[in-house]
Amino acid sequence: MALWLLLFFGLITYYILRRSVARITRTPVWMLWLVMMAPAGILIVWAIARGDEQPPLLLAAGPFLVCFVLYWYLVQRGRIPPQPRSPSASVGESPQPAESPPPEAKEIPALRPIDSDEETQLRDCFPWTVYALRQLEYRPQAVICRGQLRTNPEDAYQTVRDKVDRLFGDRFLLVFHEGMVGKPFFVLVPNPQGNVSETDESLDRPGLAAALLFITLFTTTYIGAELAGISAEEFRSNPQLLLSGLGYSLPLMAILGVHEFGHYLAAKLHNIRVTLPYFIPFPLFLGTFGAFVQIRSPMPNRRALFDISIAGPLAGFVATIPFLLWGLGHSNIVPATESSGLVTFEELKPTFSLLLSALSKLSLGDAISADKAIDLHPVAISGYLGLILTAFNLMPVGQLDGGRIVHAMLGKRSAIAIGQVARLFMLVLAAIHPELLLWAILLFLMPIRDEPALNDVSDLDNLRDFLGVFALAVLVSILLPLPGTLASAWGI
């Protein structure tokens, strides 16, 4: 199983590197991939050689720190310099890049020329009382407009965007970002969908979505039958025994579906192009690696970014709690042993999580105690996985829902800093609970930056800030171990 997981996540890692890091560095992707996979490979070798013996802390955390530094060094050593504007290029000319981009780089549409008349009209798009424009900077793929903000960011962006749209139509996207010194600036970038109408590309593929749904339902039901104790020989002799896995698969599919439809409906409310949810079947492990939707339009502002990001985990969390409470109430109490852990469904010790401990106490009452563990009912397994899924998605790292929530609340620079701290926190937590090592590896592999909204300056309102704090509180309640004082008071 460990080798299968290593192979699967190795392929995901290579795909991520090809799509992201290969654009900014000449260092070969295969070399970066080896560095990223080395810590997991070392721990897999240890597990094969030593079995269940815990690796020393230096071996568990050391490779991650060393490979993180080596990875950063290799990326920086081969970093592709920004393409400078040709000194001879004038306002009416297209700047020429200093050199051709690497073959892995994604093609970016060329900036359309702006002649002197258009430049004058562009300057008129910035009223002095709204945004005092001071200079225009021409880059190979953008026109940067720097000045001083003289009103609130929302009104400034709306005013300038309306004027730019009237002047250029769908030729450009207008981006509003915070500068390094806190001074916001506008950027005009080519609109990659400027000539594409909403009907040119159909986002709804109900056939594909339905096929993936039924395949994932089968794989999760098969895994559910295994969790119910049905062996492969029994299944082959009586295929109807597959139905015994529905107690696991249906709640899990419901939780995943509610999570993704939360994203889908929020995107539709903001008139953002989005695909139907696609489930990811996998014949081993849990039967699935989740589901996803694809956003095909830029985020208009941080409010839309926040709403779409938080809708999924909150909807999934609300769907998870009833399944988990019912499943825990129908689970069996067994004596706790040394094998009890986070992923031992037959002997789950809930004290590693404050929220799980509270739900277990609510469902089982005095039946759960310090020397007892829980043999999870299949529905409880689905609810427990839904809780883990919620916590993972709420991690404030990169393009995870939590990373986008923090980005929308505090801005891009603060989100990057918080994401780095969250990564280090998970490495420390993985040293205490080795079952979380895979989680820490995934966070380590993910890009730390999230794509900004078009208007990435305007702040959120108080209600959204409260919901964001609540979502982060849910994350902390799942990851925070049960304090000793509460454990003594609850008798667990």
Percent over 90 (pLDDT), the chain: 40
Tell me, what's the pLDDT at 264?
95
Q: Mean pLDDT across the chain, nearest whole number?
A: 82
User: Of 63, 167, 73, whose CA–CA distance to 114 is shortest?
Assistant: 167
Q: What is the pLDDT of residue 343?
A: 75
Q: What is the mean pLDDT of residues 58-86?
A: 68
Confidence label for 102 from pLDDT (cuts 50, 70 and 90) = very low
Residue 113 has pLDDT above 70, yes or no: no
> Average pLDDT in the 214-237 region?
85
- pLDDT of the residue at 52: 60
Q: What is the pLDDT of residue 89?
A: 36
Domain 116-190, CATH: 3.90.1070
Rounded Cα–Cα distance for residues 180 and 26 (Å): 26
pLDDT of residue 194: 56
The gap between the terminal CA atoms of the chain, to the nearest Å, is 32
* Residue 73 binned pLDDT confidence (cut-offs 50, 70, 90): confident
pLDDT in tens, 477-488: 999 888 888 888
187 versus 102: the higher-pLDDT residue is: 187
Dihedral sign computed on CA atoms, order 10, 15, 16, 20: positive
Q: What is the mean pLDDT of residues 160-185?
A: 88
* Range name among 24-28, 82-86, 300-304 with the lowest pLDDT average: 82-86
**pLDDT (0 to 100) of residue 101:** 42
* pTM for this entry: 0.77
Residue-level pLDDT at 109: 47
pLDDT: is 196 or 423 the higher one?
423
The whole-number pLDDT of residue 427 equals 83
- State the Cα–Cα distance between residues 265 and 283, nearest whole angstrom: 29
Kindly state the greatest CA–CA separation across the chain: 81
Provide the pLDDT for residue 78. 78
Question: Is residue 9 predicted with pLDDT exceeding 70?
Answer: no
* Cα within 13 Å of Cα(406), Cβ side: 27
When pLDDT is averaged across residues 343-363 and rounded to a whole number, the result is 90
pLDDT in tens, 244-296: 899 999 999 999 999 999 999 999 999 999 999 999 888 777 888 889 898 88
Encode pLDDT of 192-222 as tens digits: 765 554 444 566 788 889 999 999 999 999 8
Q: Which residues contact 246 (CB under 8 A, 6 or more apart)?
A: 221, 224
Percent of the chain with pLDDT over 70: 82
Q: How would residue 61 be classed by pLDDT, with cut points 50, 70 and 90?
A: low
Positive/negative CA dihedral, 271, 275, 276, 277: negative
pLDDT of residue 97: 37
pLDDT greater than 80 at residue 331 = yes
Q: Of 91 and 416, which is predicted with more confidence?
A: 416
C-beta separation of 96 from 89 below 8 A: yes
The residue-averaged pLDDT of 72-86 equals: 64
Contact partners, residue 423, CB within 8 Å, separation at least 6: 397, 440, 443, 444, 448
pLDDT for res 240: 81
DSSP 376: -
What pLDDT sits at residue 199?
Answer: 45
Least confident of 11-15, 329-333, 360-364: 11-15
* Confidence tier at 159 by pLDDT (50, 70, 90): very high
